[in-house]
Structure 1
Amino acid sequence: MQPAEKPRPNIAVLPLPPPKPPRIYRLESLDTLVQVPGRVLRIYPAARPVYERLSSPAWVAAKPASAEEEDSFLDFAAEERRHLAKAGPRALRTGRVLHLRPTAAPEVRLTNNPAEDEHNIAYEYLAALPEIRQWLLSVHLYEGGYYLLIDQRTGKRTQLMAPPVIAPDGRHFVCGNSDVLARFEPSGLQLWSLDEGAVRLLWERQTEWGCTQPRWLDNKTILFEQDFFEKGDVDTRVVRLKVVP
């Protein structure tokens, strides 16, 4: 014989609330890049230890860790003197003028203007990039700025939103910038190709989120710190993006 069932106490069972994913996974705008013709680039979370094992070029400055460190970055004249000391005779400064001497074109002269208004401009020599046969400059404006490549053969100028980070095979480079707080400069990403040494922009996208210090995982994929503005502050996560098909 089966034992008699005992009456169950009359206890109301409340349904559990649906699981709430972490906030970052609810921000769908961070998971795709604006459509490139014919396709959408998807962005995936990545492991920070993997990102930190990847190399970053010396000319890509890290985020300042403190206000004091950020102030020290403003003395770019001292930094330029250090860089020019290793540049050789084809790159030098005399007063306000930066001289660059291409091998197959007239000398390029870039003159600083220290005006206290929107006409203010200063050209800072950063590095010679033998992999792509370019000089890299940082251009400082009254508010914000940009980066400039000067071809070491032809003197051709190419404006970038950020310093280039070159793929291991030397066929592409990316530029990623982040200014989601002040918005003096565009935030986003550029992909460039190097066809027979010629620099060519394949695509660029300005975004609501920032791309800080992109690093190549392989010849097609980058990892970077994705900065986004949330609840009055800037937050960051490490992500992975395949930029070359």
Structure 2
Amino acid sequence: MKYSLLILLAAIQFSCSKSGKTDNSNSNATDSLVNELTQFGKDAVTTGSPSEMLTIGSVRFQIFPSTKEEFNRIPSYKSDSNEVHCLQNTAGQVLRSNDSLIFKTLSKRTIVLKNDTVSEGDDYARYTLTDDLKSINQWLVFAIYYEAYDYILVDKSNGKQTHLIGLPVVSPTKKYVITVNEDLEAQFTFNGIELLESNGKSVKLIEQKEITDWAIREIKWLDNSTLLAHKIMIDKNHDIQESYIKLVITK
């Protein structure tokens, strides 16, 4: 039963990432703003002071309230739902051979990710190529396991694999890559944020930050030092409360 639920969650996660659509629920925007004012304090809005701080590795973020309107003005990152199209865009560097994805790196090393949809344990895996992230020299793969799912960056130069909790969102300067995963209710997967650093040729994990009492459903870069996020909380009645926040990198 747990496995069936997880596969359903993974399918929903992948479907959402493919559509790239923001949440268009019927929640009232005014009520959301009232919730934000209550949670963060009126002074945070009227004076422009941050409501709280979030530190990921050595990078510190000041958190401010935002709005759904501001969030929706920034396009969502969309991975490609058509693997055939993705493969064509790699100019023969990535191939599909039956149940295997084959990566030909610049160092002449060959990396193979092979599906195993027969096993019912830790060996179960299904891999799908979803993007060619040229700006950070990585291929992006969506992976479903027996009781988990994630995304994998495969380095084009040497084949190094970096597992991510969610879709990688690259900053305008390509210096940072941020990923988020929301799993407050089912608690099958890691709920939190990952921040990575990129030099355009490789990526390095700064820190994976677990969050226990709230989550980010989607995150976007507003500019080189500012992120907009769709925040989720569960109240005492077990109802989902949505709000929008702005995370600003501070030195």
TM-score normalized by structure 2? 0.73
**C-alpha displacement of 1:90:** 0.8
Distance 2:156 2:234 in 1: 39
Indicate yes or no: 2:245 matched with 1:225.
no
Question: Hey, what's the Cα distance between the residues in 1 that align with 2:250 and 2:135?
Answer: 19
Q: Which runs of 5+ in 1 are unaligned?
A: 1-20, 61-75
CA shift for structure 1 position 187: 1.4
- Structure 2 matches for 1:54-93, cutoff 5 A? 54-59=74-79, 79-93=82-96
RMSD of aligned residue pairs (Cα, Å): 2.5
- Partner SS, residue 51 of structure 1: helix
In the alignment, the residues of structure 2 paired with residue 120 and residue 39 of structure 1 have an alpha-carbon distance, to the nearest angstrom, of 36
Could you tell me how far 1:45 is from its partner in structure 2? Answer: 1.4
2:207 corresponds to = 203
Mapped to 2, the partners of 1:128 and 1:39 lie a distance apart of 27
CA distance in 2, matches of 1:94, 1:39: 41
Equivalent residue in structure 1 for 2:197, among 168, 193, 196: 193
Please state whether the residue corresponding to 2:89 is helix, strand or coil: coil
In structure 2, distance between residues paired with 1:219 and 1:172 = 9
User: Once the 2 structures are TM-superposed, how far is the Cα of residue 185 of structure 1 from its aligned partner?
Assistant: 1.3
Distance 1:109-1:165 versus aligned 2 partners, 3 A rule: same
Distance 1:143 1:33 in 2: 33
CA deviations 1:40-93 (Å, max 9, x no partner) are 644221021111111222229xxxxxxxxxxxxxxx7xx433432433211111
**Which of 1 and 2 has greater Rg?**
1
Query: Offset at 1:134?
Result: 0.4
Equivalent pairs counted in the alignment come to 206
TM-score (norm 1): 0.75
Match of residue 100, structure 1, among 98, 103, 106: 103
Unaligned runs of 5+ in 2: 1-32, 41-50
1:236 equivalent in structure 2: 242
Please say if 1:43 is aligned against 2:48: no
Identity of counterpart residues, as a percentage? 23
C-alpha distance 36-167 of structure 1, shift in aligned 2 (>3 A): closer
* Alignment partner of 1:184 is 2:196: no
Structure 1 position 169 matched with structure 2 position 189: no
Give the Cα separation in 1 of the matches to 2:37 and 2:69: 20
